[in-house]
Structure 1
Amino acid sequence: MTAAGLLEHGRLDEARAAAERDVDARPDDAEAHGLLGRLLARLGELAAAAAALERATRLAPERAQHAANWAGVLRRLARLEPARSALSRALALAPERAELHVNRGNIETSADDDEAAIAWFRHALSLRADLVGAAVSLAQALRRRGRSSQAQGPLEAAVVRQPEAGEAWSMLAAVLLDQGKAERALKVASDGLVRCPTDGVLLLNRGIALTELGRLDEALEALAESQRILPDHVEGAHRLALVHRRLGDVQSAIAAQWRAAVLRPGSPRTWRVIGSLLRMHRRAEEAARAFGVALELQPGHVATLGNLGVVLEGLGLASEALVRFQSAHRLAPNMAIVCDRIGSWHHKRKNWRDAEEWYRRAIVLEPNFTDSHYNLGLTARRQGRSAKAVLHFENAVAFSPEQPGYRYDRALAFLTSGRAREGLRDYHWRWRSDAMATVRHMMRDPVFRQPEWTGELLGGRSLAVWGEQGLGDELWFSGFLDALHGIGGQVEVECDPRLASVLTRSYPRHRIHERTAPPADELLACAMQAAMGDLAMRLGFAERSAPTGYLVADAARVGDLRRRYLGGRSDALVGISWRSTKPKVERSFEAPLSVWQPVLALDGITFVNLQYGTVGAELAEAVERSGTRIIADDDINAREDIEGLVAQVAAMDAVVTVANATAAAAHGVGRPSFVALRLDQDDWRYPEAASVTPWLPLARLYWQVKQDEWDAVFIRIARDLERWRLDWRMQS
């Protein structure tokens, strides 16, 4: 078999040997040198191929094809000037051959001169309108120049003239996607697949179009099939990862992106995406390594520096994080997001002035950068300036009205600044906010799917009311249940199992159910539903004080506790609690017993520990320091035995506490409380800087003047507690 025949059958090594024999036998045969050059090019031996094709061109200077092939190999060797020269020779011999003009355009593409390339591709199409390669190459160059719309016409003509040309269909779909025409792109990709059902790039573009249209399950199917056909296609792996991520399957997204990294380990983009996915999956150390690889491949990439800084901060490496943020700022001093991240770094360390300065810098650079408006609001709230926070949150809402987190935090700022009507109106936005932590949810994976009750009479229908957020919240929200009496239907209440017996005793007209999975049938059968936290708004409590004294404790147990605790003394019983433990560690806080000395030194009071958790050592130190007796009742677990806690609080004459479930319990059983509050107290029921609150009418509020400084707070509490004790003694 001849060398040409062996080449046609793909037997390249044998074809090469045969071609070399032919060249040895006929050293002046241009065709033999030309065939050897084409074979060597196929085998990747470009320098040898160029030499053979140059020889062929010199032996047969009248043959345009030899010069064209030589030019193609020179382009692959990045020897662009010699390539232009060789192709000019071919064009001089055959100016009518459109494919030679395409080749010249490809050389200009390699030289990064897209405008020149576009001119050559257009000329090729003027010579031969059905040349698909010219239309596709023209489209690629136009896309790089951001002029995809100009490519649409030639490609539409190409698919009409050559409907079996899959590359034309796929490029047409791509330019339509560039223009945001996803519906049209989907139709083009689907039509192309009818003719080219195994075209992996067409499947990829179909998947991209479906992704943009939000049809994610179909997109996943198309992209998976594209990857099966084109397992080495990096963009396909990227797109598959994106859809997995949007479907919430972060693990599969990571697997797809790792495949892209294997295929193209030198791509910084691939490692950036892997880092982002690992960060979403809370695999922070791996995310940091991935971002580190991306930076090694592309040092000084600003977004990667920022993302690495965020991950390092999450790992507790605050100094290293700040170094990355500052590096990003040096490289891009005019990027708002970089300034915002530095501001957030200071915010987390309560460096309020620095945080505000950086947020304001971001806004100067980009006035509609909503995150910085929002973060200024958070910073103002944390400093006890909710009225100022409202203004910043309103700016954020104005720029991004559908961002639920902005509206939710604005609601909290309204409430803490005394604007109850506006605050309760927007409090419903908590259900759309990712920041909302609760056992039941109104919108995200809802358990109850009934229509939401908006305050109307039930007309004989039933209403499911369900508890939300933490135990203290349920204790407080349950105070509005009595106001549901008389709405014209049965009320079924679901609550934390620890609260069920207390609420059953307190609300005999309602049916109380422990929270279970799935919920009780009676709850699911209700015609309407309401979250407990929405009752204040639905029942019109924006203009009146919240109910108090609604929890009915076990009277016998209350009496027994008072007798045991007093032991015949005539003291006032005062319960104390000093810590709040939250699911999010950064929201937990305490007023340590070491600062309670002014309170514990008061005479005529027997103090009772109401603090949940293991606190024996702390109590022993406080007793030794103050010389005051503090009763610790080991029979009551204040975290689990809510019946016991409610009875214990009801046995008190007053309570001194931080803002936790104990304050809610005191409010519920109708006992006066003295509540110690942080400057940045994150609870809307305590209006900022106020000494009283309509949400806990029997509470007196004592705010820090400086962040984390409690001494002055407890001096004021001790003064007022002594006055209260004297009044209490006179009345008793």
Structure 2
Amino acid sequence: MSIAHQRRRLANASDRATTAISPLGRILARLEGAPPLARVALTAGALALQAGDFMRAEAQARMALGQAAPLAHRLIGLAREKAGESPRAFEAYREAHSLAPTDPDTARDLARMANRLGHPSLAIELLIRVRQVVPDDLADALELGALLRDQDRYDEALAVVREALRRAPEAAAVWSLLGSIASHQGDDQEARAFHDQAMLLDPISPAILANAAIARLDVGDALGAIEACDTALAHAPTPAQAAVIRMTRAQARLLAGDLPGGWDDYAARLAPERPESLAFDLPWPRLEPDEPLEGLNLLLIGEQGLGDEVMFGGLIGDLIAALGPGGRLTLAVEPRLVSLFARSWPGVRVFGHVSAVLAGRLTRTIPDLFDPEIQAWAPMADLPPRLRPALDAFTAGPFLRPAPARAAHWRVWLEGLPAGDKVGVLWKSLKMTGPRTRRFAPFEAWRPVLATPGKTFVSLQYGEAHEELAFAAERWGVALVEPPGLDLTHDLEGVAALCAALDGVIGPPTATTNLSAAVGAPTWMIYAHPAWPTLGTGRHPWYPSARAFTPDGEADWSRRMARVGQALSKA
């Protein structure tokens, strides 16, 4: 999971967290109406839950099933939820709701868990019913508005939020949610205005400040984002909030060119306080920040997204030098990268890592690696503070070596195409929902690029692309050539070889454009927002052959893509 995606988790949740009563708080508020014996058992269960003893909490709640079944099932569900047993929690909440279908609290609990288990439509339906019973509850309005926003149902979300704003115009959380809806819709300037208004109304809420920081970062105001993060961290955020805020500040600091401060905050990406952070199941000790590298037998494991693994792979050559002749390096990367990384560093053992959800947390391991001589392991992004402490530490040159025979094959194929430069293009990700769509220019905006004369465009778009290819041919008279027999999703060896044979590659920052830059192809990366990997330079220090196109003040994709097209016509 990318850092950009992780930091937005707070933005998607904080609107609700600023006003909602906790699920346990709603249970405790009902205890006075429970029979005495049930009240004693439920109180003991609540205390056990607060102490983290989830098994005892459930056991105590079961003692109240005979006299206060809905409350007991809700407490059982909450104990299971806290223990990471989401499906079983859902069953308990569903039982509570079936026993008390008109109770708003049972519907709220079931809606929350339905959304967590990937059933947002059910959650929305339940919350609509709740609002029919309790129309004035601000937390319900914010929860429903956020769910509708996440399903791209913006008109409905805005209707809910505007009604909430009419009832509570001074509620900072409402303005914050308006800002997040604007952000989802692609209006970064309006999003900042709404989040700044929320911050004026509540200048000490960590969640409100965190959202304002993200909105500032999205428009390139790195110093403003840092200021908001500093203020948020000074006002007692929860440990999970603090980790996300530090991740936002890491990107802001890196965008501002503050590499030492940025890398220091970047460590928060794996903070265990955040349930969504990646965990590792490895039998060796993790490398300490000040542990000497020379002579070490080290395991380096990839993290975050596929493109991040490629980018941070640029550190491996310097790491090998730091380990010295007495050291040894083992790599664990995404399985599709194993052969490419092994060829690029012949003296390094390379394995594939796998990930699975264990006890509610995404956990990464290396099932094929058994080596008691390994002395320490490190995730890839732990290395920049050591190997990239300043801009002058970024080394030049490509670092991945595609298969020579496959690159030669693609050169022969490209020679058979019309004369002129052969440029690879891609324009989207496999997942194009919600705010992710904002990271990619709509295909219609690509016309200034694809209409460039004297260029033959090769489609590097993985996944389903037939609709766009037909659109370009029918509307613009541009025939994008598809590489025959190449699986652009899974055959990354083939993708790297083709990129190396092309005269250039243009696209958003994806695994493909990172591979292209890593093999040394001239690569233009088109960013939706000012990008922290540029490290405040306006270029791409990680890849000498890459050029970064950031918004540079343009308010819409058409102007940004016109700038790319103009640059291509001069290339």
| TM-score, length-scaled by structure 2 | 0.80
User: Equivalents in 2 of 1:209, 1:304: separation in Å?
Assistant: 26
- What are the within-5 Å matches in structure 2 for residues 282-293 of structure 1? 282-293=118-129
| Structure-2 separation of matches of 1:671 and 1:449 | 39
**Which residue of the partner structure matches residue 242 of structure 1?**
78
Pair 473,518 (structure 1): closer, same or farther in 2 beyond 3 Å: closer
Matched residue SS, 1:463: strand
8 Å Cα contact 1:466-1:493 kept in structure 2: yes
Counterpart code for 1:383: V
Q: Is the 8 A contact 2:451 2:478 kept in 1?
A: yes
- Three-state SS of the structure 2 residue aligned to 1:697 is coil
Q: How far 1:434 moved relative to its partner?
A: 9.2
Corresponding residue number in structure 2 for 1:477: 312
Q: Which residue of 1 aligns with 2:359?
A: none
Paired with 1:347 and 1:594, the residues of 2 have a C-alpha distance of 19
Deviation of the 1:275 alpha carbon = 3.0
Code of the aligned partner of 1:563? V
* In 2: Cα distance, 1:255 partner to 1:436 partner: 22
Q: Deviations over 1:514-558 (max 9, x none)?
A: 235652233676321111222223323433225531111222332
1:355 equivalent in structure 2: 191
- Which residue in the other structure is 2:247 paired with? 408
Instruction: After TM superposition, give the deviation of residue 407 of structure 1 in Å.
Output: 0.8
Letter matched to residue 221 of structure 2? R
Task: Give, as a single letter, the amino acid of the residue that structure 2 aligns with 1:417.
Answer: A
Query: In the TM superposition, what is the alpha-carbon distance from 1:498 to its structure 2 partner?
Result: 1.6
1:641 Cα offset (Å): 1.4
- Among 677, 690, 694, the alignment partner of 2:527 is 677
Partner of 1:58: none
Aligned to 2:387: 539
Alignment of 1:376 with 2:212, yes or no, is yes
Contact 1:272 1:294 in 2 (8 A): yes
Structure 2 residue aligned with 1:549, among 398, 408, 418?
398
Counterpart of 1:644 in structure 2 is 494
Q: Deviations over 1:6-41 (max 9, x none)?
A: xxxxxxxxxxxxxxxxxxxxxxxxxxxxxxxxxxxx
1:494 maps to what in 2? 332
2:511 is aligned, of 661, 676, 699, to 661
Q: Does 1:613 align with 2:451?
A: no
Q: Whole-Å Cα distance in 1 between the matches of residues 431 and 274 of structure 2?
A: 12
Say whether 1:451 aligns with 2:285. Answer: yes
Counterpart in 2 of 1:595? 446
Give the aligned residue type for 2:64. Answer: Q
Larger radius of gyration: 1
Q: 1:434 to 1:599 in 2, by over 3 A?
A: farther
Match of 1:563 among 412, 437, 440: 412
For residues 671 and 555 of structure 1, what CA distance do their matches in structure 2 show?
A: 14
What corresponds to 2:21 in structure 1? none
**Distance in 1 separating the partners of 2:156 and 2:236:** 32
Q: CA separation in 1, counterparts of 2:85 and 2:275?
A: 22
Matches of 1:485 and 1:706, distance apart in 2: 42
Q: Distance in 2 between matches of 1:548 and 1:428?
A: 27
The answer to whether the aligner puts 1:303 opposite 2:139 as a matched pair is: yes
The change in CA–CA distance for 1:546 and 1:624 in structure 2 (over 3 A counts) is: farther
Select the residue among 683, 686, 708 that pairs with 2:556.
708
For residue 581 of structure 1, give the secondary structure of its aligned residue in structure 2: coil
How far off is 1:243 after superposition? 1.3
Amino acid across the alignment from 1:425: D
Once the two structures are superposed, residues 417-450 of structure 1 have per-residue CA deviations (whole angstroms, 9 ceiling, x without a partner) of 3222221221121113899989xx2x3xx22253
Indicate the percent of aligned positions where both proteins have the same amino acid. 25
1:480 CA drift (Å): 1.2
Task: Determine if the alignment matches structure 1 residue 512 to structure 2 residue 350.
Answer: yes
Matching residue's letter, 1:514: G
Contact conserved, 1:206 with 1:222, CA < 8 A, in 2? Answer: yes
- Alignment deviations for residues 220-267 of structure 1 (CA, whole Å, 9 cap, x no partner): 22222x235x34354433322321221122333344344444555554
Name the amino acid aligned to 1:577. V
1:462 to 1:341, Cα distance in 2 relative to 1, 3 A: same
Contact 2:352–2:366 (8 Å) recurs in 1: no
Any gaps of 5 or more consecutive residues in structure 2? 1-27, 355-364
Distance 1:255 1:601, change over 3 A: closer
Distance in 1 (alpha carbons) for counterparts of 2:417 and 2:171: 71
Tell me the alpha carbon deviations over residues 699-728 of structure 1, each in whole angstroms, 9 at most, x when there is no partner.
Answer: 223333423324554445544663x5xxxx
Tell me the distance in 1 between the aligned counterparts of 2:340 and 2:109. 51
2:545 is the counterpart of 1:698: yes
Is the alpha carbon distance of 1:207 and 1:596 closer, same or farther for their aligned partners in structure 2, counting shifts above 3 Å?
same
Conserved in 2, the CA contact under 8 Å of 1:574 and 1:656? no
Residues paired across the two proteins, number: 518
CA RMSD of aligned residues (A): 3.5
Q: Is the 8 A contact 1:464 1:523 kept in 2?
A: no
SS at match of 2:533: coil
Report how far residue 623 of structure 1 moved. Answer: 6.0
Native 8 Å contact 1:479 1:547 kept in 2? no
SS in 2 for 1:513: strand
Q: 2:56 aligns with which of 189, 214, 218?
A: 218
Letter in 1 for 2:169: P
Match of 1:206 in 2: 44
1:424 counterpart residue number = 263
Map of 1:332 onto structure 2: 168
User: Greater relative contact order: 1 or 2 (C-alpha under 8 angstroms, separation 6 or more)?
Assistant: 2
Tell me which moved more, 235-244 or 586-595. 586-595
User: By how many angstroms is 1:415 displaced?
Assistant: 1.8
Q: 2:4 maps to which residue?
A: none
Q: Deviations over 1:77-119 (max 9, x none)?
A: xxxxxxxxxxxxxxxxxxxxxxxxxxxxxxxxxxxxxxxxxxx
SS of residue paired to 1:373: helix
CA distance in 2, matches of 1:261, 1:625: 53
Seen in structure 2, the aligned counterparts of structure 1 residues 523 and 332 have a Cα distance that, compared at 3 Å, is farther
Q: 1:552 to 1:318 in 2, by over 3 A?
A: closer
For 1:452, the aligned partner's letter is R
CA contact (8 A) 1:577 1:658 kept: no
- Correspondence for 1:634: 484
The aligned amino acid for 1:237 is H
Shift of 1:591: 5.7
Q: What is the rounded CA distance, in whole Å, between the counterparts of 1:707 and 1:523 in structure 2? A: 53
In structure 1, C-alpha distance between the alignment counterparts of 2:481 and 2:93, rounded to whole Å: 60
CA contact (8 A) 1:658 1:676 kept: yes
SS of residue matched to 2:534:
coil
TM-superposed CA distance for 1:336, in Å, is 2.7
Question: How many angstroms does 1:566 deviate by?
Answer: 1.9
State the SS of the aligned residue for 1:537: helix
Q: Which residue of 1 is the match for residue 378 of structure 2?
A: 530
Q: Confirm or deny: 8 A CA contact 1:370 1:396 kept in the other structure.
A: yes
Looking at structure 1, the residues matched to 169 and 253 of structure 2 have their Cα atoms a distance apart, in angstroms, of 35
Which residues of structure 1 form unaligned runs of 5+? 1-173, 179-197, 725-732
CA–CA distance in structure 1, aligned partners of residues 468 and 102 of structure 2: 57
Q: 2:92 aligns to what?
A: 256
- Corresponding letter in the other structure for 1:306: L
Q: Alpha-carbon deviations, 1:390-433, whole Å to 9, x = none?
A: 22222222224532111111111222232222212211211138
1:199-238 CA distance string (max 9 Å, x none) = 55433332222212222222222222x235x343544333
CA displacement at 1:617 relative to structure 2: 5.9
Matched position secondary structure for 2:234: helix
Deviation at 1:512, TM superposition (A): 0.8
Does structure 1 conserve the Cα–Cα contact (< 8 Å) formed by 2:506 and 2:524?
A: yes
Higher helix share: 1
SS at match of 1:279: helix
2:201 aligned residue: 365
